[in-house]
Structure 1
Amino acid sequence: MEPAGNPQIPADLVEVGHVGGAYGIRGWVRIKPYSAGAEALLAVKEWWLDSSGSREVKVLQARWQGADVVACLAGVSDRDAAEALRGAVVRISRRHFPAPDEGEYYWVDLIGLAVFNRQGDCLGTVKGLMDNGAHPVLQIETGMPEDKKRELLIPFVERHVGKIDIENRKMTVDWELDY
């Protein structure tokens, strides 16, 4: 596969999925998106693949296939070439993401936020999110000394999550450190 060029790697790349393998015999790839709302994958015509170094690839076509996105990439013309990309991380520039609606957030924007409870106690920092099937769950790393650090799991639902301030990098939750 030939890269779409050798442009400078954008600083705002966000990991949005990975190549799950080939789709069909004509070189299409199956992408396992990390979010159910992966519309940016369909809209953006340049992806960055990370397997043995980052390289930009041109997306000729992309569409939903069940819970996955299948795509035809320039320079990938057969099943073997597509299968060789299995496991490659797919990244796109953050500038291509559509603006979220009021009260909606991209998970990538929540990572790194300081988390405080309603009493003002710092519980830690958002290290990640996961989906348990019913709702997303915040993974909070407590700010305790290294030997006492632990992970808090807080449901990302209105009942527990209060104000989110992306600009000031903090959020308020209805949660106690000893839960």
Structure 2
Amino acid sequence: MNGADGRIRVGRVSGVYGVRGWVRIFSETEPRDAIADFPRLWMKRAEGWELAEVEGGRAHGPGVVIKFAGVADRDAAYGLMGAELAIERDWLPPAEEGEYYWADLQGLSVEHVDGTPLGTVTGFMETGANDVMIVGGERERLIPWVQGLYVLEVDLADGRIRVDWDPEY
């Protein structure tokens, strides 16, 4: 999710882990443990956004645990519960040719190959077989993200995606 401030949401603090200040993270990155690779993360709490240094992090079972600088014990870690985590867009490496970060596609207009507007990209979801683009407009549409078959053109400069998808669906 892109915020109005240009930050990209990558997860949230969902629990505490141990007694030395580690926290459990609900990660929205792919792969899930990639969130632990950033040396710092923006953290949003009641006081607003602050930059938090990451001292360590790793996959742990189905989730991720992270240790933030200055968080020394379980009580301090508990104070981070619910904090939203984000990065700045320019912290990401450039996408490969023909690949896109979901955050860069959100808000783009979507139109049928004949020029019929279908709405704007409001999100994506993983289904196992392929990702699905969620398009909001006069109604919500779910369009499989299959480049060359349904997704014909992505023009980031013009803010437009052309699709071959029946406007009635």
TM-score (norm 1): 0.83
Query: Percent identity of the aligned residues?
Result: 41
CA distance in 1, matches of 2:96, 2:84: 27
CA distance in 2, matches of 1:129, 1:35: 13
Unaligned runs of 5+ in 1: 1-10, 143-148
Between 1:164-173 and 1:154-163, the stretch displaced more is 154-163
Contact 2:21 2:71 in 1 (8 A): yes
Q: In the superposition, relative to structure 1, how do residues 35 and 82 fare at CA in structure 2: closer, same or farther (>3 Å)? A: same
Aligned to 1:145: none
Q: In the superposition, relative to structure 1, how do residues 136 and 94 fare at CA in structure 2: closer, same or farther (>3 Å)? A: same
Whichever residue aligns with residue 146 of structure 2, its letter is V
CA distance in 2, matches of 1:133, 1:66: 20
**Aligned pair 1:36/2:25, yes or no?**
no
- Aligned residue pairs: how many? 163
Aligned to 1:115: 110
Give the superposition deviation at 1:80. Answer: 2.3
Contact 1:31 1:68 in 2 (8 A): yes
Aligned to 1:70: 65
Whichever residue aligns with residue 178 of structure 1, its letter is E
Which runs of 4 or more aligned residues in structure 1 lie more than 4 Å from their structure 2 counterparts after TM superposition?
Answer: none
CA distance in 1, matches of 2:160, 2:35: 28
- Alignment map for 1:13-28 (pairs within 5 Å): 13-28=7-22
- Alignment map for 1:70-89 (pairs within 5 Å): 70-89=65-84
Contact 1:40 1:98 in 2 (8 A): no
Give the superposition deviation at 1:88. Answer: 1.0
- Give the alignment partner of residue 98 of structure 2, picking from 97, 100, 103: 103
Give the superposition deviation at 1:38. Answer: 5.4
